[in-house]
């Protein structure tokens, strides 16, 4: 009877964690929709949400594949490498973006012309 109590606690904890993750993803989606189209933060958050969706899709596809002998192991490895590749490309793109952003002196410095004040 004690084991069932631990199992229910783990299930409740998992459901609570998924609820929190869903709330964070929904909040990010709302934030992305409110940002202007040329905002670099919008591009970053869109790429992040795309990677989260790909990871979730890989988990959904992997679950029924494990029931087929042989295909389950190959599919798990392929999905793991695919998701790892997508996340690595995200961090590479993030590094390139931050490097370019730092080199330009920030978005505020590059998007507005300098203010020149002439004294008489």
CB 29, CB 49: distance < 8 Å: yes
What distance in Å separates the CA atoms of residue 105 and residue 2, rounded to the nearest whole number? 60
C-alpha distances out from residue 15 to 8, 57, 80, Å? 11, 18, 23
Q: What is the pLDDT of residue 100?
A: 74
Domain ranges of the chain: 1-34, 38-108
Rounded to two decimals, what is the model's pTM? Answer: 0.60
Residues of the chain where predicted confidence (pLDDT) is lower than 70: 1-8, 101-120
């Amino acid at each position: 009877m004690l084991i069932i109590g631990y199992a229910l606690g783990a299930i409740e904890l998992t459901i609570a964690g998924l609820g929190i993750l869903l709330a964070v993803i929904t909040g990010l989606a709302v934030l992305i929709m409110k940002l202007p189209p040329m905002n670099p933060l919008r591009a970053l958050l869109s790429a992040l949400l795309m990677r989260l969706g790909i990871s979730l899709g890989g988990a959904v596809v992997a679950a029924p594949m494990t029931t087929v002998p042989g295909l389950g192991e190959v599919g798990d490895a392929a999905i793991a490498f695919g998701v790892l590749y997508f996340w690595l490309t995200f961090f590479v793109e993030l590094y390139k973006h931050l490097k370019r952003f730092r080199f330009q002196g920030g978005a505020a410095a590059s998007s507005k012309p300098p203010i020149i004040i002439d004294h008489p």
